[in-house]
Structure 1
Amino acid sequence: MTGQNAIELQRMLEEIQGQASERTHSRFDHTDARRIGSAAAALAERDHLPIVVAVSRGMQRVFHAAFAGTTAEHDDWVRRKINTTMRHEIPSLEFVLRHQLSGHAPDWLDQREFAVAGGAVPIIVAGITVGAVAISGLVGSIREDHDVAMKAIRSARSQP
């Protein structure tokens, strides 16, 4: 990794970590989960995004939507991204960036159950990870799926 690349990754990591307050909610019930999922689905429809959206509350999948251009493989990616986020209680992109910066691949992680890829964002209530929103399907950069998830969280928060 070049010095410039490391600087860019460190900046991105700091930006992702700086979004913690946006991932923190006063509550998170089924209605909130569906609101976030619906916001992500609206973004997908508006921008013609080939994505799968999944929102979990604890271990329960509360919302799921798949759009044209996706396959069952994307369903598996969101499942594994959510597993990574719920296990480590950080966005899956933060997990990726930490490992890229350390120079150590998380080879101890079972790739059948966990994904080392951005796109899953934890939902935090009172300091506890209570759920996650995950996006899979965008391949332009390591953060595109993450950014859609964060847009959905912000959009849902602005709804009455």
Structure 2
Amino acid sequence: MNTINLTELLDQEKQLLFAEFDNNIAWQIGCALKQAAEKCSAKVAIEVYAFEQVLFSYAMQGTSMDNQEWIRRKRQSVMRFGHSTFFSGQYNASKKRDFESQPHIDAKEYCTHGGAFPIRLKSGGLIGVVTVSGLPQEEDHNLVVNVLRGIIYENEDT
């Protein structure tokens, strides 16, 4: 699988913005992620977090508490650094450094394994994170991005 370059990852973040966001949209995203994962027989845990609370959480059969811990660490990384975890991981790799071993990073609290993507409004501001855990990191990332793309474009048409 080809790794997405940093410019493409930043472009995804610039393009995947919401005109508005509420609990119903969070539910729509979570359900769409579950359906997409089932379609490809993936076993993932899913979280949609916004407004300082978990709005959707689902753990598919075959996942474990480890997936929940990955989700927490991924979410915290996006909320602190403002970028998808896949971007942050690829950025640090491009600098030839390990994110989790930097002196200002607590590896028990943050990670840059792909699968967490920022929820941003077009009017500006990071309001939350969509996170998937259970697949290889690039696949987690792509699952989230593809579902967000579909939801955002669908909501723009209505």
Query: Please, what TM-score do these two structures have when normalized by structure 1?
Result: 0.87
In structure 2, what is the Cα distance between the partners aligned to 1:26 and 1:41?
A: 23
Aligned residue for 2:105, secondary structure, equals coil
> What's 2:113 paired with?
117
Which residue in the other structure is 2:61 paired with?
A: 68
2:126 maps to 1:133: no
Q: Deviations over 1:66-113 (max 9, x none)?
A: 112211100110111011011111111110011000112232311111
Equivalences for residues 39-54 of structure 1 within 5 A: 39-54=32-47
Q: CA deviation at 1:34?
A: 1.0
For 2:24 and 2:106, locate their aligned partners in 1 and report how far apart those are by CA, in whole Å. 32
SS of residue in 1 equivalent to 2:107: coil
Q: For structure 1, list consecutive stretches of 5 or more residues without a partner in the other structure.
A: 1-7
Counterpart among 150, 153, 157 of residue 155 in structure 1 = 150
Query: In structure 2, what is the equivalent of residue 84 of structure 1?
Result: 77
Aligned residues: 150
List alignment gaps of at least 5 residues for structure 2. Answer: none
CA contact (8 A) 1:53 1:134 kept: yes
Percent of aligned pairs with the same residue?
27
Q: Per the alignment, in what secondary structure is the counterpart of residue 5 of structure 2?
A: helix
- Give yes or no for the alignment of 1:102 onto 2:98: no
Query: For the residues of structure 1 that align with 2:68 and 2:15, how far apart are their CA atoms?
Result: 25
1:24 counterpart SS class: coil
Match of 1:146 among 102, 121, 141: 141
TM-score (norm 2): 0.88
Match of 1:13 in 2: 6
The amino acid that maps onto 1:137 is G
Contact kept in structure 2, 1:82 and 1:120, CA below 8 Å = yes
Alpha-carbon deviation of 1:156? Answer: 2.1
Is contact 2:17–2:119 with CA below 8 Å preserved after alignment? yes
Greater than 3 Å deviation, 4+ residue runs: none
Distance 1:90 1:28 in 2: 18
Question: How much is the aligned-residue C-alpha RMSD, in angstroms?
Answer: 1.6
Residue 13 of structure 2 contacts residue 118 of structure 2 at CA under 8 Å; is this kept in 1?
Answer: no
User: Structure 2 CA distance, aligned partners of 1:136 and 1:111?
Assistant: 17
Contact 2:86 2:115 in 1 (8 A): yes
